[in-house]
Each structure stands twice: as C-alpha cells, then as structure tokens.
C-alpha cells in the first residue's frame, strides 16, 4: 500500500483541489501558538491505533452517532483560495505582529491523514499563506518519496515528523510503511537544515520497551536528530471507529502508565532534547 501510494504524483491525484477532511480552529496542540489545523484526507499507512481513522481513506465518509442522533461528514474537495480564506479568518490570533518570536507564532498546520500525498496543491496553500505572513507546520509520517517534500523546503515553520518504530518488519507489516524510506527522508530533511521535530507515539507493545527505544534512538542519532516529542497513546478516538462501523484494534489497550512514560523519557533524554506532550 505505502509503496503503491508513494509512486503516485505528489498532488495525490487532484491537480487543483485539496481533499479536505475538516478544519479545526484555535488548535493549541498541533504546533506553536494558536493554529488553524487543516486535516487532509487520505493516508498510505494504516496504523491500528490511529486516532483519526476518518482521515485514512481518501473517500468521503460519514460518522454516525446513533445515541446522539448525529451524523458528521468528512471529505470535500476545496480550492486553495477557499481554504486559505478560512485560515485567514484567524489571522489576528497567530501573533504575527505583536513581537512574538517567529518560532513561537501560530499559523497553519497541515495534518491528516498524510498531507504530503497532496504535496503539489498543499504547497500552493502554504506559499499563498506565507505571502500573508502566516507560517505553516507540516505533520507527516514521512513515508513518501522525497519529491513530495521538495516544494516545502525553506517554506515552513517546522516539519513534525512521526517516527513510530525502528523495526523494519513491524513497520511494513503493522503500519504498511517502508522504514528505509522514512529514515532517508528524515536524514535528508535534517541535512538540509530544515526545522524538524521528531514525534514518537508511545504505543504499548510496539515501542515502549527499552530495546525498542534504544533501536529508535540509534536510528534518530544516525539521522542527525536533536529533539524528540513523546506522545503517550490514548483512546480518545475510539468513538470514531464505532461511528465508522469498524473495529478498533486498540480498544482494550490501556494508555502507558506514568512509570512507562517516565522510563521512556529518561532514556530519550540520554540522546535528545525531549519533551512529553
């Protein structure tokens, strides 16, 4: 799946429209400052713990919540100008003209799904907003060809780069990804001097034991990473699976305990600037 998707054109099959899942205003967890997060639909991975399952398929979907008598639809083709106009509605909240340091300003976050599957059109959005002084964060799993990154180089506030496992077989079989491709992209981004924060979801049974952490640390050190963010697993997206009518593989998996999180933090701190979100 990942290999097939990575061979498609960097616009993900839409030459002039973005496949938008939804837009979240006043977000404070998708980058510095107050942000407008545009979630793009479609992902070439299938992480079984994903808390945004409505963004995996590129097709429109409706989540049905019978108890609340509510239906929520995701997935609509929108023009760059249309999306940019919505992002600019929040312009006054981004801290662009109040002396806030550039690295701490709010702005646009492109998330998903995998936003880089729509690279060509997404880059037009990023540059359109950049011209208005609005910076962008790209939230990516990095499992795409390098050409998908190229339109953004030198034009983003940061790349938030997910790194889920250091085990090639687990990456391939559990996630549907190509670890060598992910590692190469991370290495190239860092070598190019791009601002990168590596984000590691702490998933019980996948990457929280010391051996798995050491493996990831060795790979991130070789890639040139200097910082990591740890994101403890949670089940806040479980209701979405039920609303989609699909089984949630991690519905009975408890979040990592404080002792597990603390042990992981201490290990990562031996190599990197580390924070727990």
User: Domain 2-276 adopts which CATH fold?
Assistant: TIM Barrel (3.20.20)
Reported confidence tier of residue 13, pLDDT bands at 50, 70, 90: very low
DSSP H or E stretch at residue 138? strand 136-140
Domain limits of the chain?
2-276
pLDDT value at position 42?
98
pLDDT value at position 80?
98
Reported confidence tier of residue 11, pLDDT bands at 50, 70, 90: low
Q: Which residue is it, tokens 């509605």?
A: 89
Q: Which residue is it, tokens 């799946």?
A: 1
pLDDT value at position 74?
97
HSE-CB of 99 using CA atoms within 13 angstroms: 0
Q: What are the structure tokens assigned to 184, written together?
A: 């190469």
Q: pLDDT tens digits, residue range 185-221?
A: 999 999 999 999 999 999 999 999 999 999 999 999 9
Reported confidence tier of residue 12, pLDDT bands at 50, 70, 90: very low
Distance CA 202, CA 227 (A): 16
Reported confidence tier of residue 29, pLDDT bands at 50, 70, 90: confident
């Amino acid at each position: 799946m990942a290999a097939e998707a990575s061979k498609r054109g960097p616009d993900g099959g839409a030459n002039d429209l973005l496949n938008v899942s939804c837009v979240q205003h006043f977000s404070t967890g998708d980058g510095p400052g107050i942000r407008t997060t545009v979630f793009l639909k479609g992902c070439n991975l299938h992480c079984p713990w994903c808390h945004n399952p409505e963004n995996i398929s590129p097709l429109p979907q409706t989540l049905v919540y019978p108890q609340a008598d509510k239906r929520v639809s995701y997935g609509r083709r929108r023009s760059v100008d249309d999306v940019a106009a919505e992002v600019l509605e929040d312009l006054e909240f981004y801290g662009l003209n109040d002396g806030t340091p550039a690295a701490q300003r709010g702005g646009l976050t492109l998330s998903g799904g995998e936003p880089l599957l729509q690279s060509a059109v997404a880059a037009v959005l990023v540059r359109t907003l950049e011209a208005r002084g609005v910076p962008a964060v790209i939230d990516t799993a990095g499992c795409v060809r390098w050409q998908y990154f190229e339109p953004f180089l030198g034009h983003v506030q940061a790349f938030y780069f997910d790194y889920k496992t250091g085990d090639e077989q687990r990456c391939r079989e559990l996630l549907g990804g190509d670890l060598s491709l992910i590692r190469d992209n991370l290495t190239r981004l860092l070598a190019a001097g791009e601002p990168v924060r590596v984000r590691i979801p702490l998933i019980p049974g996948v990457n929280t034991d010391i051996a798995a952490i050491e493996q990831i640390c060795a790979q991130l050190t070789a890639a040139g990473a200097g910082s990591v963010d740890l994101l403890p697993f949670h089940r806040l997206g479980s209701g979405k699976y039920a609303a989609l009518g699909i089984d949630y593989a991690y519905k009975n998996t408890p979040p990592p305990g404080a002792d597990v999180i603390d042990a992981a933090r201490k290990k990562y701190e031996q190599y990197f600037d580390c924070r727990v979100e």
